[in-house]
Structure formats: C-alpha cells, structure tokens
Chain A
Amino acid sequence: MGVMSPDAKTDRVCPYCPLHCDDLIVSAQGEILSGGCEIACGHSSQIPLLQPTIAGQAVTRQQAEGEAARLLGQAHAPLISGLACDVDGLRAAVAVADQCRGFFDHGASDGFFNGLRVLQRRGALLTSPAEVRNRADVLVVFANQPWSRLPRFFDRYVPSGAQLFNDAPANRKIVLIGGSHAPDPLDGADVQVIPADLSKAAELALVLGALVAGRTPAVASSAGIAIDTLKEIAQALKAASYGVVAWENGDFGPHGDLAVEALYDLILTLNQTTRAAGLPLPPGGHVSGAHQVGLWQAGTPLRTCFTAEGPVYDSQLYSRAKLLADGRADLVLWISAMPGAVLPKIDDLPVILLSSTAPPDGPPPRVYIPVATPSLDHDSVFFRGEGVVSLHASRWRSPAPYLSVAETLAQISNQLPKGEQHPC
C-alpha cells in the first residue's frame, strides 16, 4: 500500500477476479492504494518487460504478427481459446475465429458449461448480486472453498449492515455446504459451515428437494450430511422470504450438470410457495464476457465451430479439452491478457500466445506476442462474473508499450488471406 497522493485515481475497476470490484483507488503509477484484496495487491504494478518471440527467438512485434497471420492463414482448424481479455478483445477474437473458420472456446469453461447445459435444456431461475445483497434472508452455498479466488465475495454480496428489504439483517442465515471453513469477514454473522462431499451434490440437492416437498428419503445422511441437518436447511429455505441457493459450477465434477439441474428443481419447488432463486458463483477468466460476446456475434455459445455453413455449436465435442485430445484442431491461438486462463501444456500443435505475462515455463510457443493488461493499461469493458452488469474500466496508469488484444488481433487479421478453410 502506498501513500495517498493528490493524483490518485478513484473508482478503478479491478481485472483480477470476476467480482470486478470497482471502488479501487490507485496511484498515478497504477499502484493500488485502497480497495484491493490480497489477490489484487499481490499483482505487481510494474509494467513487465516482455519481448515478442518466434520459436523462442526475439523478434519485432510486426514480425511476430506476420508469423501469426501466416500460421492462421495456413491452418485448417485453428482453435481460438484462452479468451481471458476485455470485451473489445473478445469481439476481435470472434471475428478472427469467423474469418479463419476456427473453433471458439474459453480456456476455463468446463465449470461454466455445467450451468449452461442445464440452462439450455431446462432453463433457469436466477438472481443477481444486488438482489442477494438487499433481499436474501437465507443464503445456502454449495462450494468447496471459493473464497480464496473471490476474496471480496461476502463484502460485495452479503455485507454486514442494512439490507433494503430485510428488517433484521443480523438474522440473515448463511449456510456453507462443502466449505471447510468460513472466510474471515463472516465472523460474527449467523454462519453455519457443513462439510460435505460435493461430488454427490446432485443427490444432495434431490434429497433437499424431497424434504422441501414433504417427502422424506429413507437414508440417514446424504453426501456426508445427516438427514436432520438437511431437514433444517430445507425448512430454513422454505421459511425464507427470499432464499438464495448459490453454487460453484466447477466443484461438481465432470457431470456436474446433473447437480445444477437438481438445484434448479429444488429452486422451482421452493417457488411454489415462496421466492427463491439461484446464483452460480462467478467464473474466472472473464468466461461470462466471452460467453456473452460469442453468443451475440455468432448466435451460438462458446464451443462453436465456424463451419462453411455457418456457426455450429456442440458443447461436448468442441470443448477446448476435447478438441485437443481428439486432434481436431491444428493450431492454437491462446489469449491471456488477464488472470484465469493459463495456457495448458500443448506439445503437438503450434501455439500463438497473446499474453500480458511471460510465456509459461517449458518449450516456447511458436509465436509469442505480449499484450497490454485491460483496465491497467487501457480503457476496457468487463462483464462482472454474474454476466448481467458490465462496467467501463478507466485505465489505471500511462499506457504500457504493448497493444491491446483487440489491436493486436486487428493487425493479424489485416494480414490474413481471405481463402476457403475447412475445420471440424
């Protein structure tokens, strides 16, 4: 923490986690003076010294862009992924995927798809942060330990103090299922922490649903929680004026969609008599932004292939992981201008990496182009993790000597040949 100076900038938006707190105060040099949590303050405010490379050898930015365009132009089935960047970067990334007939998926979307699959086949009944903040009198969270990646979650969603619509905020009940301990800011609130095996979350939610509906399962416990405890939780949700059921999509394993679906059924059952709504915890790496931008530009969500007939979506086949495992992609363009989508180890394909940090250890990517960090280095727009509110982030410091993702992709795109390509 530095000393507050007269040229300090207020209301800065933090790019480091999907809460995108927007009350930070930073110095003219971009050093956080107030509002930053341990994650935010753990990031250096120094502009890193980075060098574009081709096969590990230093080159000029123009050379690197040219090589990236050449590779993309040759590729039959490029995978455009990572996608941890601001909205303008994402708009440019969809355009490149479209232009190159490539695949489009975020680098950390597995958890997100547990929720999206259910939304697409069944629907959803959701709430958003300000409603939780002012309305929730019971909050039940199914998550292992999300607080370390969302340090100011409680400060933002359930701050101590008054609620607009709950006369007795002190009586607000918070139940953390699966979490091994409560985060510090919650000390003093009515918090119940119940260890549970969240790989059995689907069963757990079905049991809760049965209890809310007045049917009692013939088991003594579920997912490690005694049935009497579950009865209490069901009762609390049923008695709540506005119960909120929150969950961490990524904590339910590869078939976590079944758990999300069971939670949706629980929420529907609750709404037969009172109000309740769901709240997936915000996913990292600006997945929510990548989802929104891809969806409005292509009409289809992430995991789309831009085929010769138009966008084709397949949530199973066109996931980043499956595309790489199946050998369907022949080039990877990975974008990582902010935290949340680390380049995985890819041995057998050429990789073009656009990153605001140095490439990970190991063999260098075929092309590496350093890019500016959104918010810090240039004005940008982020979707907060819940996907509803998008914020304008004014830059923190004088511009870094790197182009933004949008600018870099525009440079590459201008050099692409306009030929027929055939992925999938």
Chain B
Amino acid sequence: MLTRLKGGRLYDPAHQVDGATGDIWIENGRIVAKPANGAKPDVDHDITGMVVMAGGIDIHSHIGGGKVNLARALMLEDHETYKHAPQDGLRAGSGVATPSTFSTGYRYAQMGYTAAFEPAVVISNARHAHLEMSDIPMIDKGGYLMLGNDDILLQMLASKREQSAVNDYVALMVQATGCIGVKIVNPGGISAFKFNQRNLGLDEDTAFYHLNPHRIVQSLAQAVHDIGLVHPLHIHCNNLGVPGNFQTTLDTVRAVEGLPIHLTHVQFHSYGAEGDRHFSSAAAHIAEMVNATPNVNVDEGQSMFGQTVTASGDTMTQFRNAGFGDPKKSICMDIECDGGCGLVPFNYKDKNFVNALQWTIGLELFLLVNDPWRIFLTTDHPNGAPFTTYPHLIRLLMDKTFRNEKLAGINKHAAAASTLGSIDREYSLYEIAILTRAGPSRILGLKDRGHLGEGAAADIAVYAPHANAETMFDTPKLVFKDGELVVRDGQIVKTVWGATHVAQCDFGHSIEKEVEKWFATWKGTRFSNFVLSKDELEADGRSRWVGHNLARRS
C-alpha cells in the first residue's frame, strides 16, 4: 500500500531540512522516494502547512521492570486518580507517574513518540523488564543494562583483571540481557551501601573492594567503547542530589580521559552549595564543560512541579532521601549481588526553594548548552516528572514569555537566585526535532529511526501548528508507526506492537564458562535459564527483536 503525506512542513535535522514544504511517501512501513512511475497513492493525507517530524524517541524513561512495578504498588493515589476503561480494542489501565504498560504505550503515541528506552535494567531483573516492555504497545523499546555495582565486575576490577576480560564480560551480559546500552549508577556506591557505607565521593574508595569510583567508570566506559556499543556509557554520577555535586560531575568527566560518555539526568548533578541555604545552581559550570567537551552528551532530567515518585537503582541515595518522601514512605532493596533499587514518592512544590531552584537549574542547562545534538529532552520519567509533561517542557524551551511568566510564580528567593530570566534563547522547531528525535536516534545508533529520509522506518508525527507549543505537541494531528496510522487527533485508532532494539555482541567463550560457574556457585541459579533469547522474546507473537550488530573496536 502506498501512502502520501502531502504538503507538510518537514523538520528533519538528520538531513538539515528545516521547515521546507514537501511530500512524504510511505510503502511497507518505510519512507520511500516518490514513485518514479507516477503511481498514485492508495491513501493520501493532505497535511498542507502542518509540521512533520520523525516520531519522538525518549532516551531515558523508566517504563518497565521490577522497580517500576514497585513504584506502581506504592503510588496508589496516582492509579485512583488516573484510570481508563477498555474501549474500542484498547486495554484498561491507570497511572500517570507510574502508568501501566498499556497506558504508557498509548500516551507516548498520543504525544507523537514512537520509541522509549528503559535506562535501568538490573541484571537479574532483565527478563522482567522485557516482559513489561513486551506489554507496552505502540512504541519501540530497549534497555540499558546497569553494571558497575555487580559483584562479578567489581571482583574482576579488584583482582586487576585485564581490560579485555572486562570487555568480554560486558559484551556477554549486554547480549544475555537483550540490552542496547550500558548504564552505571552511583559507581560502586550501591554495592558499598550493602557494606554499610552511606556516602561515596569520587575520591573515596568503596568498602570491601577498595575500588575508586574513577576506576570503575573508567573501565566500564572503556569496555562500552571497545565492544562497539554505539551509545556511550550512560552515567548516573555519584552524589545525586547533594549540594555541591557539580564538582563530582566534572571530576567524572575528567576520569574517563576523553572516552565518549553520556551523563544522565544532569539536572540532578548540577548543584552548587553557595548562598544562605547552601544550595545553588551550577548549571553554568556544567554547560560550560559540555560546550567544551565534545565527547560528552547529556540528558536533562528536568523536574516539574507536582506529585511523582523517584525510582532509581541508587539505593544509597534513596535510603538517605527516604525522609523527604511525600507521602512519607519508601522502598529500598538490595538485589542479587547485582545492584539495588529505591523508590521515594516526591512532590515538587513551586513555592519550595530547593524544588523551585531545581526547576530553574534544568531550564538553565537546556538554554546554556549550545549544541542541541548533545543534550536530550528528558524528565528522567518519573523522577523529575512524568513523561506526559513533555509538551509543557517544550513550550518552556520555545517560549521565553511563557517561561518568564512561570518563573514569576515560583519561590521568590529561587527566582532571584537564578539567571533564567536573563536568558533570551528560544528553541526553534528544528532544534526541538534534534532534541527529541534526530539526536536520540544518532546517539543510540538507530540508523532507520529519528529521521525522514528514504529507507527510514515510517515513524512519523504530524502536528497542527499552534502559537502555544504545548497544545501543538500535546495532541498531534496524525501519528504513524512503521507506516500505519495509529493516532488521529490525539486518539489511538490502531494498536500496534513496536520492536525491541538489542545490541548483538561478540564475546569469548571462556567468559561464558566463568559466568556460568559464578551463577551456579554464588547465585545458586543457572545462567542458561537466565539468558534471554530472540526466540523467547518473540514467542508471544507480537514482540520483535531487532538486533544491531556491533563492530568491536578492540
């Protein structure tokens, strides 16, 4: 079937197309060239004057896995307030901060997003994460495996095993867990907390293994690079949320000595300790570093005001922050010699100095980082805010007047302490397309997503232009997933199932034997029953495993 989208204004930064009018042709789920034989389209959508972008790609969103499910159980009110019944072939669901899998897929598609990546897959919980992602309709998915607090790796590092062995181990685990990237969370800190260490700076050693976080990050960043993962090591730095932690963030960059890295939810890691309240913005320092350091990418982790829950692998931090819980409850868990997780409900209040300043810090970062290809639009869903706030966030970036109105409504001291009001920058539609589509696809190596070129998967969002960018991005006119029309005027018209993106890695046979033995001896379970396969993932008849072959760099 041949489909034409006629007369839209195309925003396709991967091909430097900035609002040019043109047609898009779709056949068999792909974007194709205009048929040379003059064939007429079977379906013609006249979208004259409308904004056309590739489907949105969320590079960091906690959408599935054990920790998300714990968060759902904890956030009862979220599910009492927001729920929907099954209708027209759609499934029932509930929640906004911690939506059910079906709600997650529907809502992403309704905003014109066609892919989202779960950034915190715990080794032993990988199958669970995939099971949940398999139940998220409408969008493509993928996961980043959390390493760097797993006892196998820490043992290897402590016993000074050669880098090639580390590389093999990382490659094996990425493959075995069906992930597409590697994340490190509070390097060494989650393990150290199990030994009753309560804080860990970059210049301290971890309890028991006596490893410096520098060394862990360095080795893992090297491994990620060497085995050929496109996405550089995804780093959640030490000292999340601690005033003055921007220094830790800068030190982390120094530690990797020029290796490519991705710093995640950098808003939470850009805090100074100045002022009466010993809490200040260090956004300028971090932005300056990013501008000057081409090997560094960041995603934002913008916080927004309202009720949400913080869900993290960082047990050390979450245990420390449990007292800030609102409502006052929390869950922490030590997990299987692999890592941990921690959940603390949180209510960001615009009249609270710290919360308000967090909001300004995030926006300052967005506006002070010059290269939109190296910063990505996230709220670290649900940690900073639910992903459903993206349209609002986009408006804050695109509309200075609106931004300053909002700034006037927050805590006075925070507003006064921030430079936000003096920043004139407004993001263009082209830059938004980079932030939310072209950039993420490039940094994840999704060659056929995030752009509108020939051969790309026809994941496409069509928006009616509107002076209010929030309105525009909240309710696309049309959304296509792999060429099928799935959303019209913000309503789901067809349920589809996206693919799961997985890195295909090579690794030596000896590491597999070693890990098998480790599992049997220390975990008391079999590696063979842990490994996830394409056949297993696809057995339900609707998941699709898309392998990305890696070229080993070393």
Kindly provide the distance from the CB of A334 to the nearest chain B CB, expressed in whole angstroms: 22
Residue picked from A123, A301, A308, most chain B C-beta under 10 Å: A123
Residues of A within 8 A of B522 (CB): 130, 133-134, 164
Nearest-CB residue, chain A, relative to B89: A418
A298 at the interface (CB under 8 A from B): yes
B100 touches A11 (CB 8 A): no
Complex Cα gap A133–B525 (Å): 12
Complex Cα gap A312–B37 (Å): 56
B447 at the interface (CB under 8 A from A): no
A98 touches B86 (CB 8 A): yes
B539 touches A379 (CB 8 A): yes
B92 touches A298 (CB 8 A): yes
Q: 0/1 per residue, B37-79, Cβ < 8 Å to A?
A: 0000000000000000000000000001010111011101001
Complex Cα gap A130–B100 (Å): 29
Complex Cα gap A85–B66 (Å): 19
Interface residues of B: mostly helix, strand, loop or mixed?
Answer: mixed
Complex Cα gap A274–B193 (Å): 10
Kindly provide the distance from the CB of B173 to the nearest chain A CB, expressed in whole angstroms: 15
Q: 0/1 per residue, B520-554, Cβ < 8 Å to A?
A: 10111110111111001001100000000000000
A116 at the interface (CB under 8 A from B): yes
Pick the interface stretch among A60-68, A202-210, A381-389.
A381-389
Q: 0/1 per residue, A371-410, Cβ < 8 Å to B?
A: 0000000010101000111111110000000000000000
Nearest-CB residue, chain B, relative to A301: B73
B84 at the interface (CB under 8 A from A): yes
Residues of A within 8 A of B101 (CB): 296-297
A387 touches B74 (CB 8 A): no
B94 touches A310 (CB 8 A): yes
B93 touches A275 (CB 8 A): no
B161 at the interface (CB under 8 A from A): no
Residues of A within 8 A of B91 (CB): 95, 98, 297
Nearest-CB residue, chain B, relative to A308: B85
Complex Cα gap A335–B204 (Å): 54
Residues of A within 8 A of B93 (CB): 297-299, 310-311
A135 at the interface (CB under 8 A from B): yes
Q: 0/1 per residue, A189-209, Cβ < 8 Å to B?
A: 000000000000000000000
Complex Cα gap A237–B191 (Å): 21
Sorting the interface of chain A by its residue count into under 10, 10 to 19, 20 to 34 or 35 or more gives: 35 or more
Complex Cα gap A229–B552 (Å): 60
B329 touches A296 (CB 8 A): no
B66 touches A130 (CB 8 A): no
A119 at the interface (CB under 8 A from B): yes
Kindly provide the distance from the CB of B14 to the nearest chain A CB, expressed in whole angstroms: 34
Residues of B within 8 A of A242 (CB): 194
Complex Cα gap A119–B345 (Å): 13
Nearest-CB residue, chain B, relative to A293: B131
CB < 8 Å neighbour of B73 from A99, A116, A275, A388 = A116
A263 at the interface (CB under 8 A from B): no
Residues of B within 8 A of A241 (CB): 195-196
Nearest-CB residue, chain B, relative to A383: B128
A295 and B73 in contact, given A125-B332, A126-B332, A309-B85 (Cβ under 8 angstroms): yes
A124 and B333 in contact, given A296-B100, A308-B85, A391-B529 (Cβ under 8 angstroms): yes
CB < 8 Å neighbour of A381 from B74, B127, B525 = B127
A121 touches B329 (CB 8 A): yes
B99 at the interface (CB under 8 A from A): yes
Kindly provide the distance from the CB of A394 to the nearest chain B CB, expressed in whole angstroms: 8
B194 touches A131 (CB 8 A): yes
Nearest-CB residue, chain A, relative to B523: A130
CB < 8 Å neighbour of B132 from A122, A131, A296, A389 = A296
Kindly provide the distance from the CB of B102 to the nearest chain A CB, expressed in whole angstroms: 7
B84 touches A164 (CB 8 A): no
Residues of B within 8 A of A29 (CB): none
Residues of B within 8 A of A383 (CB): 128
B334 touches A128 (CB 8 A): yes
Kindly provide the distance from the CB of A290 to the nearest chain B CB, expressed in whole angstroms: 12
Residues of A within 8 A of B524 (CB): 129-130, 133, 156-157, 159
Residues of B within 8 A of A390 (CB): 125, 127-128, 131
Kindly provide the distance from the CB of B455 to the nearest chain A CB, expressed in whole angstroms: 34
B124 at the interface (CB under 8 A from A): yes
Complex Cα gap A312–B81 (Å): 10
In A71-92, the 8 Å CB interface with B consists of 87-88, 91
Complex Cα gap A72–B16 (Å): 56
In A109-161, the 8 Å CB interface with B consists of 116, 119-131, 133-135, 156-157, 159
Kindly provide the distance from the CB of A218 to the nearest chain B CB, expressed in whole angstroms: 31
Residue picked from B98, B100, B322, most chain A C-beta under 10 Å: B100
B337 at the interface (CB under 8 A from A): yes
28 A-B Cβ contacts within 8 A?
A87-B131, A99-B86, A119-B331, A123-B74, A124-B333, A128-B124, A128-B333, A129-B336, A130-B124, A131-B337, A157-B524, A159-B524, A275-B194, A277-B334, A292-B66, A299-B93, A299-B99, A300-B76, A300-B94, A309-B84, A381-B536, A383-B128, A388-B66, A388-B335, A389-B124, A390-B128, A391-B525, A392-B531
| Ranked 5 nearest A-B pairs via Cβ | A310-B83, A299-B100, A299-B94, A123-B329, A299-B95
Given contact pairs A22-B525, A164-B522, enumerate 10 new A-B contacts (beta carbons under 8 Å).
Answer: A124-B333, A130-B524, A135-B334, A159-B524, A271-B319, A297-B101, A299-B100, A299-B103, A310-B94, A389-B336
Task: Tell me the B residues contacting A by CB distance below 8 Å.
Answer: 64, 66, 68-70, 72-74, 76, 79-80, 83-86, 91-95, 98-103, 124-125, 127-128, 131-132, 135, 151, 193-196, 208, 319, 322, 325, 329-338, 343, 520, 522-526, 528-533, 536, 539-540
